[in-house]
């Protein structure tokens, strides 16, 4: 594990600066933040960094990842890159994340030489602006005395990504609501103009709260207990350049939950309404308490 400082953005950038130990082999670490397992967005982001370090002059346009086993935050993660294809326009990489001799994540990413072509996009929803909303930090401060003890350290830690939910959900005893949510997000500091780093940070942030969307119609969340929850797979498409130092609107919906799984979709817009990325994730939502079972 790596020690954290008072600058969570610098900590995250350092976390993503994984160590090359062979031509196609890299080593990453996890922060000492009280988590019992590695945050999925961290493994996706580090795997994308590993892939990027074997690619030149091309930009990632899509990634597809499967979470296979929970990550252990107490030991390093090895990232092995397979240089699947180097074409004239597209490059494909496959990355395997390994701990204790076993795979914890598989990721495939595709990179493209920048090109021009047809353009269209869906419209951004009309929602409240960041200045009108409370931050998640403020909302957490209001709820901190009611959070189970095992979540306290994780709950209170400073985060590198600032979040502002548009329609905040109660953290304790949430009501049953429609499976849709919107939140604004941005990095809490300067990142610079490196496209690869910008994408890796957004990949990290894209795993924040998306699985929670599918739980909304059922009145459960991470704190209610009685439900086993985990990300199963995660896909992401990058459409346009963006600056994660500026506010981005992350809209999410869940069209289906079945078979103890919840499926979620997301779109990321700039404050001016440009669609910059799309996300899809399926997660485990397994009722363990009889009160949640049909």
| Angle made by CA atoms 113, 114, 117, in degrees to the nearest 5 | 120
Catalytic-role residue among 11, 33, 207, 212 = 207
Distant-in-sequence, close-in-space partners of 186: CB < 8 Å, separation ≥ 6: 161, 162, 244, 245, 246, 247, 248
Instruction: Report the candidate in 236, 278, 220 with the shortest Cα–Cα distance to residue 63.
Output: 236
Give how far the C-alpha of residue 15 lies from the chain's centroid of Cα atoms, to the nearest Å. Answer: 15
* Residue 231 annotated in active site: yes
Please tell me the distance from the alpha carbon of residue 236 to that of residue 219, in angstroms, as a whole number.
Answer: 27
Catalytic-role residue among 30, 99, 231, 254 = 231
| CB-count burial class (<10 Å; 0-12, 13-18, 19+) for 177 | middle
Query: By the 8 A CB rule, do 200 and 45 touch?
Result: yes
Query: By the 8 A CB rule, do 278 and 289 touch?
Result: no
Q: Which residues are identified as catalytic?
A: 207, 231, 281
């Amino acid at each position: 594990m790596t020690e954290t400082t008072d600058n969570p953005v610098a900590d995250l950038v350092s976390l993503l600066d994984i160590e090359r130990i062979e031509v196609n082999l890299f080593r990453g670490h996890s922060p000492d933040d009280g988590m019992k397992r590695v945050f999925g967005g961290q493994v996706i982001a580090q795997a994308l960094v590993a892939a990027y370090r074997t690619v030149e002059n091309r930009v990632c346009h899509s990634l597809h990842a499967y979470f296979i086993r929970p990550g252990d935050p107490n030991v390093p993660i090895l990232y092995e890159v397979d240089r699947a294809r180097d074409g004239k326009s597209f490059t494909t990489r496959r990355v395997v994340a390994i701990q204790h001799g076993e795979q914890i994540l598989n990721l495939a990413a595709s990179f493209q030489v920048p090109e021009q072509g047809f353009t269209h996009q869906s419209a951004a929803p009309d929602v409240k602006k960041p200045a009108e909303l409370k931050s998640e930090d403020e909302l957490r401060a209001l709820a901190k005395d009611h959070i189970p003890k095992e979540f306290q350290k994780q709950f209170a830690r400073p985060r590198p990504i600032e979040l502002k939910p548009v329609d905040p959900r109660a953290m304790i005893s949430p009501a049953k609501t429609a499976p849709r949510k919107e939140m604004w997000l941005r990095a809490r500091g300067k990142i610079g103009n490196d496209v690869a780093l910008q994408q890796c940070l957004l990949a990290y942030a894209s795993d924040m709260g998306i699985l929670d969307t599918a739980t909304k119609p059922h009145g459960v969340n991470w704190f209610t207990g009685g439900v086993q929850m985990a990300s199963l797979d995660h896909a992401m498409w990058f459409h346009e350049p963006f600056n994660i130092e500026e506010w981005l609107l992350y809209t999410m919906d869940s069209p289906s939950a079945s078979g103890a799984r919840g499926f979620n979709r997301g779109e990321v817009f700039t404050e001016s309404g440009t669609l910059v990325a799309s996300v899809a994730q399926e997660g485990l939502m397994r009722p363990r308490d009889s009160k949640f079972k049909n």
